[in-house]
């Protein structure tokens, strides 16, 4: 029996914004779908599939007030955590477990700007290039070519870096000269990572403008910002992996 992971294991396609009106299971009060509690009797409601942004009642924007998000996370935790349902019905216990796990997942994703951006892109149907170490190892194991594209302007530097890394791995004794060179390269790439943050911030602003604007005029703009963000994230994860490789080589 073989195990296969379907491609695109993320939940993107099934996530929707909750719509319409539903009724409280306990007191029959109607309320807009997506609310975690009945506005009348405050009882916890059956969880509805919702994306992380709408879980917090937020628009799909990339600039988020993280301290406000934290406040809301604490507020909802105080109402949803399973500890508060230890004496409730089995059904309410299950809903509390389900909804508070969604709350934690949503908070964890949205509070981190990179995870948030990746998540938004997945909601947009973009499959991000997997740059993780797992993907590298997987590629190594299966002998497949990893679909990682070196950003063109980095080609030369990366080529040189790989030579240096090779040299370090081959030699029994660590040449101080090689180590010093690698340290310099590392600092250089770390500075690049810092720089990418400013670039990303610009893209977040661009995206948020698209979201707030008139929907009919901005399809092309939306696509453009999206593509740029994907590029930027790939570039970032590529450089991050380089820094990691250098760190590993220096430690060994």
Give yes or no for residue 105 binding another protein (CB under 8 A): yes
Listed residue (61, 19, 24) closest to 225, CA to CA: 61
For residue 225, give both structure tokens: 């910002």
**Cβ closer to another protein: 65 or 160?**
65
DSSP state of 37: B
Q: Is 6 an interacting residue with respect to another protein (CB under 8 A)?
A: yes
CB 65 → another protein: shortest distance, Å?
Answer: 17
Regarding 53 and contact with another protein (CB under 8 A), the answer is: no
Pair of tokens at residue 222: 């939306």
Q: Should residue 9 be labelled a site residue for another protein when binding is judged by CB under 8 A?
A: yes
Establish if 90 lies at the interface with another protein (CB under 8 A). no
Number of residues binding to another protein, judged by CB under 8 A:
34
Q: Return the residue of 16, 17, 40, 133 that touches another protein, per CB under 8 A.
A: 133
Choices 1-9, 56-64, 157-165, 233-241 (CB under 8 A): range interacting with another protein: 1-9
Applying CB under 8 A, among 34, 82, 150, 179 the residue interacting with another protein is: 82
- Per rule CB under 8 A, is residue 170 in the interface with another protein? no
The residue count for the chain: 252
- Contacting range for another protein; rule: CB under 8 A; set: 30-38, 77-85, 221-229, 232-240: 77-85
Where is 23: in which H helix or E strand?
strand 21-23
All residues at 6 or more sequence positions from 34 whose CB lies less than 8 Å from its CB, including other chains: 17, 18, 19, 48, 50, 54, 57
Please check whether residue 148 is in contact with residue 131, taking contact to mean a CB–CB distance below 8 angstroms. Answer: yes
Helix (H) or strand (E) holding 30, with range, is strand 30-32
Q: Which two tokens stand for residue 174?
A: 């660590």
Phi, psi dihedrals of residue 66, rounded to the nearest 5°: -65, -35
- Check: CB of residue 60 under 8 Å from CB of residue 123: yes
| Residue 231 beta carbon to another protein: minimum distance, rounded to whole angstroms | 25
Residue 237 lies near another protein (rule: CB under 8 A): no
Name the site residues for another protein (rule: CB under 8 A).
Answer: 1-6, 8-9, 11, 14, 74, 77-78, 81-84, 86-87, 97-98, 100-102, 104-105, 107-108, 133-134, 137-138, 141-142
């Amino acid at each position: 029996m073989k195990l296969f992971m379907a491609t695109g294991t993320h939940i993107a396609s099934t996530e929707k914004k909750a719509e319409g009106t539903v009724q409280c299971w306990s007191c029959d009060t109607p309320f807009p779908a997506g609310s975690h509690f009945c506005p009348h009797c405050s009882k916890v409601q059956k969880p509805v599939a919702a994306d992380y942004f709408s879980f917090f009642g937020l628009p799909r924007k990339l600039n988020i007030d993280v301290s406000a998000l934290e406040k809301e996370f604490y507020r909802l935790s105080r109402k949803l955590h399973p500890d508060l349902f230890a004496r409730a019905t089995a059904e309410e216990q299950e809903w509390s477990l389900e909804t508070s796990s969604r709350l934690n997942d949503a908070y964890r994703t949205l509070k981190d700007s990179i995870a948030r951006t990746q998540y938004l892109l997945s909601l947009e149907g973009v499959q991000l290039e997997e740059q993780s170490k797992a993907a590298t190892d997987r590629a190594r194991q299966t002998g497949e070519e990893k679909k990682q594209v070196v950003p063109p302007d980095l080609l030369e530097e990366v080529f040189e870096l790989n030579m240096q890394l090779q040299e370090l791995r081959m030699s029994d004794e660590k040449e101080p000269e090689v180590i010093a060179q690698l340290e310099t390269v590392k600092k250089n790439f770390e500075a690049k990572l810092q720089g990418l943050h400013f670039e990303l911030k610009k893209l977040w602003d661009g995206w948020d403008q698209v979201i707030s604007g008139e929907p009919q005029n901005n399809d092309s703009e939306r696509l453009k910002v999206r593509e740029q963000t994907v590029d930027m994230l790939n570039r970032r994860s590529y450089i991050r992996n380089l820094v990691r490789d250098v760190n590993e080589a220096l430690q060994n």
